[in-house]
Every structure is written in structure tokens, then in C-alpha cells.
Structure 1
């Protein structure tokens, strides 16, 4: 526990240690290309204002995934 406290109390790391290396960028891009699919969703600020208000404070991707999984459970095989 002492070592964890020591880590939490360290001064901020220098900007150099926060830099992302080219190898890290390449590895991240490779992972995303093989593992991630993005689906874009547009909202109209006027006609979808109720939805946007509802989503405030929610983690969007988690919320959408929960809704989809609930729909899958209600409608298996579709």
C-alpha cells in the first residue's frame, strides 16, 4: 500500500514522459484497424433536442450498447 501512495503523491511527470512515440501510435492504429468498428450517428440540435438533453451526463457508447443488447434479448434471432 505504501508504494501505491508513493506513486499517487509523485509530482506531475514532465511533458516528455507524456509524449506518444511513433511505435505507440503505430500499435494503436493497428489495434483499431483490426478490432474497432465505428458507427456514426447524427443528431439535429432542433428536432433531436429532447434526445440530446436525455443523453447529458451519460456515457453515449455504453448507453447505446445497453439499449441494443436489451433489444437483442427481447428479439432473439432477428
Structure 2
């Protein structure tokens, strides 16, 4: 629920005030990770099937890469 709220707030910020390029990329990656999580929950968990390891790994990798992009977008740049 917390991740869904965070993605919702990022999408809201993108539409209302705009986001830097890296933050928009992070938002897209978070939406993709969310879609993967929904697939894992609705298709595998509810049907009591084992989660495929590649799908879990890709889901986590996309989410972590999105987080790194978001942190990079918010890091102050001094030049």
C-alpha cells in the first residue's frame, strides 16, 4: 500500500508541477514494477502457484533501478 501511494504521488507531481527527466524515468520504472507486482499477486499468489524466480528478480531490479534514478534526480548538483 505504501508503494502504491508513492507511485500515485509521483504521477500526481508529474502532471501538476512537472518532474526532471530522471524522476520521470523513475516514475515509469515504478509503474512497470507495480504492474509486475500486480501480475505476481493476482496471477500467482491468488492461485497459490509458486512465483517464477526470473519474474521476482526482474520486478526487484526494475524497482531498485527506479529508486536509484529517483535519488539521482533529487540529489543536489553543485558545479
Q: Same fold (TM over 0.5)?
A: no
Give the shorter-chain TM-score range: under 0.3
Give the TM-score normalised by the residue count of structure 1.
Answer: 0.27
Give the TM-score normalised by the residue count of structure 2.
Answer: 0.26
Q: Say which one has the larger Rg.
A: 1
Q: Which has the higher contact order (CA 8 A, sep 6+)?
A: 2
Specify which structure has the higher proportion of helix: 2
